[in-house]
A and B are shown apart, each in its own frame.
Chain A
Amino acid sequence: MAIVATTTKFSVYGRPVLAWIVGLLFFFPIFWLVLTSFKTDADAVKPEFLLFFTPTLDNYLNMTENYDYWRFATNSIITSVFATIFALAVGIPSAYAMAFNPSRATKDVLMWMLSTKMLPAAAVLYPMTFITKSIGLFDTHFMVIVVLMLINLPIVIWMLFTYFKEIPKDIIEAGQMDGVNTWGEVKEILIPLAWGGIASTALLCFIFCWNEAYWTVRLTTTEAATLSKLIEGNRAPEGLFFGRLSAVSAAAVGPIVVLGWFCQKQLVQGLTFGAVK
């Protein structure tokens, strides 16, 4: 409708209003979670305090006491950060190799990597429990990091691959003429040039690690348990602790939602494997 002057009242007023309503509706549950987190447990279930209440920070201040929040949060941070670092450390050389030195098998290798992502986790649930328990790595940070890294590695490699492909091959060849070795190509040319892509890949990988809720729940008990496990373990407070549960939930998702805002575009690329442009 921007094409010709067929401007209707709907397109000027109706659509924006509708769009805002839909946007607010989708955001409402998050807003409600945050709002509830400022109510006392008692107020949270009383209709008279639905919107107007005396806000309190107690739920946040008592997170450690109520849920041992920081222990789980620390685990989430440690596992997500290290899984992301390792995924990049393995993924960057791999994507570099495939983007700039492709062989005839490269395409198949990429597709195969993707297919590992499509394997239902539950199918290997028991073997994974069995293996981790028999080598004594059950409920350890190390195991969670390894698993998180492996489940995100295909996406990391794919995203990096699509970013690296955008770098003209000429520049890499100019580097070869100028005397850089393989390590130099990566360090002097590839990483500085694809810095933005690498950063958003890292961000997205971190978010996926943080939100992961199958292996982190099934392969941990206490030592390496993450926030997913914490929330899952306190799922049904039967109305008793809505306030404090909201606070700990908001603390678990808040930073990630904000980070997510910064990588909307990359998300499309990362999740559709470059098939939607």
Chain B
Amino acid sequence: MSNRTLPRLLQTPAVIMLLIWMLIPLSLTLYFSFIRYVLNNLRRPEWTTPSFSNWRGFGNYEFVLNSKDFLFAIQNSLLIVGSILFLTVILGVLIAVMINKAFPGQGIVRVLLISPFFVMPAVNAVLWVNMILDPVLGLQGLAVAGINDLIGSLQSAPGVGWFFSLWPEVKPISFRATQTSAYAVIIMVTWQWTPFAVLIFMTSLQSEDQQQKEAAVLDGAGTFSQFRFLTLPHLGRPIAIVVMIQAIFHLSLYAEIEIVSRGNGNKNLPYLIGEFANNNIGAASATGIFAVILANIVAIFLLRMIGKTLME
């Protein structure tokens, strides 16, 4: 007999490890989400150790749902993730179609384009928020100052000076401020993940049926019609995959938000969990369960799609 028991058993270490990795912390989160559990409370010291006697039922969930930060974090998560998805897909498709056909230096352009993807998130955030977007010292600040200087010198010019003195002074945008920090995160993550979208769309474009395109040309389809009726449908599936994979990654954005504004005016769910976890573990855990549910909604669709191609 071809004894395949041993070879089959070889997958068990990985399975057991991942099972432990998933189950133990997650059940603890579930447990903590149903009890009163805080790290510091002088009046009720019994709440500082996890125990079933501190059972709170859905109290933590109610507390989280009623906190204004939660709604804000959800909204903000959706704003950030949605904007990034929109921008990366549009840019990704355009760039992929543009560089898909051979031109001088195509290889170098590819390398230039893909590079941002490998920059570690912490450096990405530090680089953008300081060196580029800083309203005074970053490139933005320098550019704004330069424009203002130019206008200033034009204002004192003879003859046309009166015209330029009607111009307002240009104001730089502070991306660390409450209202704008989310935009900084959107910009830097879009910069980092557009290359990913480009790479996947390019891979997919290479498998596009060239004979089908030739047939379309003979049928009188122009460049735009080819793109609209052949290329775009061909990219449908990769687009769906890019959207879902990114959604899963970006729902748990953390380092960028921490670095840009320390969550000031710009919390998402992971950040909110981190904040709760400084003291109120019960609330942090309940928020965690919400995050799991949110991620699962996306994950189910993604897994289905992958599952279809898996055993082909």
Interface residues of A (CB under 8 A from B): 1-4, 6, 11, 15-16, 18-20, 22-24, 26-27, 29-30, 32-33, 36, 45, 47, 50, 90-91, 93-94, 96-98, 100-101, 103, 107, 109-131, 150, 153-154, 157, 176, 182, 185, 207, 210-211, 213-214, 217-218, 227-229, 231-232, 234-237, 239, 242, 245-246, 249, 252-253, 256-257, 259-261, 264-265, 267-268, 271-277
8 Å CB contact of B105 from A16, A127, A237, A239: A16
B304 to chain A, nearest CB (A): 9
Mostly helix, strand, loop or mixed at chain B's interface?
Answer: helix
Q: Does A20 contact B18, Cβ atoms closer than 8 Å?
A: no
Q: Given A4-B217, A22-B113: A252 and B7 within 8 A (CB)?
A: no
8 Å CB contact of A124 from B194, B274, B281, B288: B288
A269 to chain B, nearest CB (A): 9
Q: Given A94-B11, A123-B288: A236 and B119 within 8 A (CB)?
A: no
Q: Does A111 contact B259, Cβ atoms closer than 8 Å?
A: no
B160 within 8 A of A: no
Q: Does B28 contact A16, Cβ atoms closer than 8 Å?
A: no
Q: Does A122 contact B32, Cβ atoms closer than 8 Å?
A: no
Q: Given A26-B195, A122-B254, A272-B241: A260 and B310 within 8 A (CB)?
A: no
Kindly list chain B residues whose C-beta atoms are within 8 Å of the C-beta of A50. 142
Q: Given A23-B108, A236-B130: A125 and B277 within 8 A (CB)?
A: yes
* 28 intermolecular pairs with C-beta atoms under 8 Å apart: A20-B109, A22-B99, A27-B113, A27-B116, A93-B11, A96-B7, A96-B10, A117-B248, A120-B288, A122-B291, A123-B289, A125-B270, A125-B277, A125-B288, A127-B285, A150-B17, A211-B118, A211-B121, A213-B120, A214-B254, A227-B122, A231-B120, A236-B130, A236-B259, A253-B118, A257-B118, A261-B115, A267-B196
- When C-beta atoms are compared, the residue in chain B nearest to A232 turns out to be B122
A153 to chain B, nearest CB (A): 6
A205 to chain B, nearest CB (A): 13
Q: Does A276 contact B238, Cβ atoms closer than 8 Å?
A: yes
Q: Does B15 contact A103, Cβ atoms closer than 8 Å?
A: no
- When C-beta atoms are compared, the residue in chain A nearest to B213 turns out to be A3
Q: Does B196 contact A274, Cβ atoms closer than 8 Å?
A: no
Known pairs A114-B306, A122-B291 / 6 extra A-B pairs, C-beta < 8 Å: A1-B223, A253-B119, A261-B111, A261-B114, A276-B203, A276-B238
Q: Given A27-B115, A116-B22: A22 and B95 within 8 A (CB)?
A: yes
Rounded to whole angstroms, the CA-CA distance of A29 and B132 in the bound complex is 8
8 Å CB contact of A47 from B14, B142, B196: B142
Q: Given A93-B10, A122-B273, A272-B241: A228 and B255 within 8 A (CB)?
A: yes
Q: Does B18 contact A113, Cβ atoms closer than 8 Å?
A: yes
Kindly list chain A residues whose C-beta atoms are within 8 Å of the C-beta of B98. 15, 18-19, 22
C-beta contact mask, B88-129 vs A, less than 8 Å → 1, else 0?
000000010011010111101111111111111111011111
B53 within 8 A of A: no
Q: Given A50-B142, A90-B14, A115-B299: A182 and B115 within 8 A (CB)?
A: no
Q: Does A26 contact B194, Cβ atoms closer than 8 Å?
A: yes
Interface footprint category on B: 35 or more
Q: Does A272 contact B131, Cβ atoms closer than 8 Å?
A: no
Q: Does A32 contact B139, Cβ atoms closer than 8 Å?
A: yes
Rounded to whole angstroms, the CA-CA distance of A6 and B213 in the bound complex is 14
B168 within 8 A of A: no
Kindly list chain B residues whose C-beta atoms are within 8 Å of the C-beta of A131. 24-25, 28
Interface residues of B (CB under 8 A from A): 2, 4, 6-11, 13-15, 17-18, 21-22, 24-26, 28-29, 32, 95, 98-99, 101, 103-106, 108-123, 125-132, 134, 136-137, 139, 142, 145-146, 191, 194-196, 199-200, 203-204, 207, 210, 213-214, 217, 223, 237-238, 241, 245, 248, 251-252, 254-255, 258-259, 269-271, 273-274, 277, 281, 284-285, 288-289, 291-292, 294-296, 298-299, 302-303, 305-307, 309-311
Rounded to whole angstroms, the CA-CA distance of A267 and B106 in the bound complex is 19
Q: Does B15 contact A29, Cβ atoms closer than 8 Å?
A: no
Rounded to whole angstroms, the CA-CA distance of A276 and B60 in the bound complex is 41
Q: Does B200 contact A231, Cβ atoms closer than 8 Å?
A: no
Rounded to whole angstroms, the CA-CA distance of A214 and B310 in the bound complex is 30
B194 to chain A, nearest CB (A): 7
Rounded to whole angstroms, the CA-CA distance of A120 and B128 in the bound complex is 25
Kindly list chain A residues whose C-beta atoms are within 8 Å of the C-beta of B309. 274-275
Q: Does A29 contact B311, Cβ atoms closer than 8 Å?
A: no
Q: Does B25 contact A276, Cβ atoms closer than 8 Å?
A: no
Q: Given A130-B28, A131-B24: A273 and B237 within 8 A (CB)?
A: no
Kindly list chain B residues whose C-beta atoms are within 8 Å of the C-beta of A129. 277
- Which of B110, B114, B214 has the largest number of chain A CB atoms within 10 A? B114
Q: Does A182 contact B270, Cβ atoms closer than 8 Å?
A: no
Q: Does A98 contact B11, Cβ atoms closer than 8 Å?
A: yes
Rounded to whole angstroms, the CA-CA distance of A85 and B98 in the bound complex is 39
8 Å CB contact of A153 from B14, B129, B142: B14
- When C-beta atoms are compared, the residue in chain B nearest to A87 turns out to be B14
- Which of B120, B254, B269 has the largest number of chain A CB atoms within 10 A? B120
